[in-house]
Structure 1
Amino acid sequence: MGHVWQGRDVYLERPVAVKTIAADLLALPDWRHTALARFEREAKAAARLDHANITTVYDAAVTEDVCCLVMQLVDGTTLDNVIDGADGGRLSVPMAVSVAAQLCSGLSAAHEAGLAHRDLKPQNVMVRTSGLVKILDFGLVKVLSDTDPRLTMTGETLGNVSYASPELLAGDEPLDGSSDLYAVGCLLHHMLTGRPPFHGEGPAELLSRHLTASPPRLAAHGADAPGAVQDLLHALLAKRPEDRPENAVDVYAALAPYLPAPEPALAIRRMPPEDPRRPFLVPPAIISVGSSR
């Protein structure tokens, strides 16, 4: 969909990430008439999101020649690199659950604001060196796919389809937060087993499996996880949105018993980088909300 550049805000003197929309997309006939206005609306909505697990949008530029988002520059790596670097290409249950819980925490804020991501995948999830998980690209995916539905089936096709909900693949509208919860289920399965839940020789076969195949059991791929985690995963991967958990808060609550136990003493120790358990092992300080005099 474009390029991401590391830049610097010369006024505030801070590093930023600048995502520019590809020139060939700007040349689409419908873009000038509808998509630019939609992009501006979505960018404003994304900028209103204020959550630790969502990358902050600082600014946007919409002109005749440039369409871009200016965002927080995240120090860390993408989730696919974390998985690839794990022992056997799999995360432990506490690590996988902590990533999924952080995703649900961020999604709960976005869904409350009426935003669905529509393209959650390992490359759109950053893990900071502190272990904090950050969701990328709110405000862009919906605009681009609405402008030209073919965009969802080009480029990184296989990667996108591996985590896409049945209703997204079927072209159903409108999509809501339930579609993102299906993607969380796909990501959780990938983290625990080292592979997405469904496979195919090409996009068409993979799409068919999302639409018709039963959710696989973790044990079938050699993953040892509590039965309740498997039951939750099965519910997240339900074909019909109404059969999935009601919202991201409910999913977080179901994951909570399997989060790593908080260990504040670790705050003074050196921890491995890109450890997604850290926010739960070293929870943020409590913010006191009181009146000042």
Structure 2
Amino acid sequence: MHGGTVAEVAPVAAEPFAWPEPVGGLLGAGGFAAVWELGPDRVIKVAHASHDLARARLHREAEAMRAVQAASGAQRAVPRVHDSGVLADGRAYIAMDRVTGTTVSDLLAEGTMRAPEAIALALSALESLGKIHAAGFVHRDLKPDNLVRTPALNVVILDLGLARKLPADPDDPTRAGVQVGSLEYMPPEQIADSASVDERSDLYAFGCVLYELLAGRPPFVGDAAALERAHAALRPPRLGATVTIPAAIDLLVGDLLAKDRARRPESVAAARERLIVSRDERTPPKMSHSVSMLREGKQPVVLLWAELPRVDRALLS
């Protein structure tokens, strides 16, 4: 599992529920909801709790998915919603398409991808992410577990349970100052306040995923405290130290991972255009000694000197 979600309770036992048709096996359960089979082509996501916040979050997820469907055209970016509402016991639910394919986390478990395959997957993921943004939402939990590559080699984005509507509305279930998302892929501004995000926050998370696709590991690893410090004040080794890729892609990933969102690409469309242009560059960056360090499981980091006072001394010892 890539990147546990912050501000969620630990997974709990999924409770059965009444439904007008046969319900299949349990596919997965987290701290917020469980997903069950509904025949070969559909699944149902049911919140664990019947309190107002649980209902509000699942209702927001259904709203976001329907809005993305309307903006997606022929190629789906998220699973199609069949029905949503509240069960007789008060728990919220969403019945949706079952997405056939392989999660990016499972693809990564098979080994580091070749750069052309990783870039093709990234371009498809950006296309789907752009449709989420076009529908007026920020995903806020983009990570390998939530990206599925279909047999047609398109990427479908799962789990819009943390999606935030832009501009923010008073009914948004996220409370100001609360941290939600997955720390391995979380931008600095989301770590500080999950309500203060925009489209460029998703681009930072996408940059973390692209880094992992090309390097075989996330840009930062460690416990929660170390990850928070790293996202705030460190940068990972340049990708050119571990893989042979066009220098322009190395630079693009660096821009996606900029601590200041104003230095990131301004939109998904801008990031996608740069990735397409960079893909065809033929001059790879030079290799360095960092290759052997990463292969041995070590992780050199580079300090952003302007932010050095924010780094805990323990991180440098």
Asked if TM exceeds 0.5, the reply is yes
Q: CA deviation at 1:90?
A: 1.1
Q: Secondary structure at the match of 1:120?
A: coil
Q: Is the 8 A contact 1:58 1:72 kept in 2?
A: yes
1:181 and 2:203 matched = yes
Q: Which amino acid aligns with 1:15?
A: D
Q: Is the 8 A contact 1:4 1:19 kept in 2?
A: yes
Change in 2 beyond 3 A, CA 1:108/1:246: same
Q: Is the 8 A contact 1:120 1:163 kept in 2?
A: yes
Q: Output the CA distance in 2 between the equivalents of 1:46 and 1:105.
A: 15
Aligned sequence identity (%): 33
Q: Which amino acid aligns with 1:218?
A: L
Q: Output the CA distance in 1 between the equivalents of 2:129 and 2:267.
A: 9
Deviations for 1:173-221, whole angstroms, at most 9, x for unmatched residues?
3311111100110000001010000122x1111111001102430133x
Question: Which of 33, 56, 67 in structure 1 is aligned with 2:80?
Answer: 56
Q: Output the CA distance in 2 between the equivalents of 1:57 and 1:242.
A: 35
CA RMSD, aligned part only? 2.5
Q: TM-score, normalised by structure 1?
A: 0.73
1:171 and 2:197 matched = no
Deviations for 1:221-280, whole angstroms, at most 9, x for unmatched residues?
x111100100100000000111100100111111224669xxxxxxxxxxxxxxxxxxxx
Q: What are the equivalent positions in structure 2 for 1:84-95 lying under 5 Å apart?
A: 84-85=109-110, 89-95=111-117
Question: Which of 237, 251, 259 in structure 2 is aligned with 1:239?
Answer: 259
Q: Output the CA distance in 1 between the equivalents of 2:58 and 2:144.
A: 24
Q: Output the CA distance in 1 between the equivalents of 2:58 and 2:43.
A: 18
Q: Output the CA distance in 2 between the equivalents of 1:92 and 1:258.
A: 16
1:7 and 2:4 matched = no
Bigger relative contact order, structure 1 or 2, given CA contacts below 8 A and separation 6+? 1
Change in 2 beyond 3 A, CA 1:127/1:163: same
- Could you tell me which residue of structure 1 aligns to residue 121 of structure 2? 99
Question: Which of 23, 47, 51 in structure 1 is aligned with 2:66?
Answer: 47
**Which stretch of structure 1 is more off in the superposition, 248-257 or 55-64?**
55-64
Change in 2 beyond 3 A, CA 1:187/1:5: same
Question: Which of 89, 97, 104 in structure 2 is aligned with 1:72?
Answer: 97
- Could you tell me which residue of structure 1 aligns to residue 29 of structure 2? none
Q: Which amino acid aligns with 1:48?
A: A
- Could you tell me which residue of structure 2 aligns to residue 219 of structure 1? 240
**Which stretch of structure 1 is more off in the superposition, 247-256 or 53-62?**
53-62
Deviations for 1:110-151, whole angstroms, at most 9, x for unmatched residues?
11221010001111111112322110012x114797269767
Q: Output the CA distance in 2 between the equivalents of 1:258 and 1:92.
A: 16
Which one has a larger percent helix, Structure 1 or Structure 2?
A: 1
- Could you tell me which residue of structure 2 aligns to residue 276 of structure 1? none
Q: Which amino acid aligns with 1:66?
A: R
- Could you tell me which residue of structure 2 aligns to residue 204 of structure 1? 225
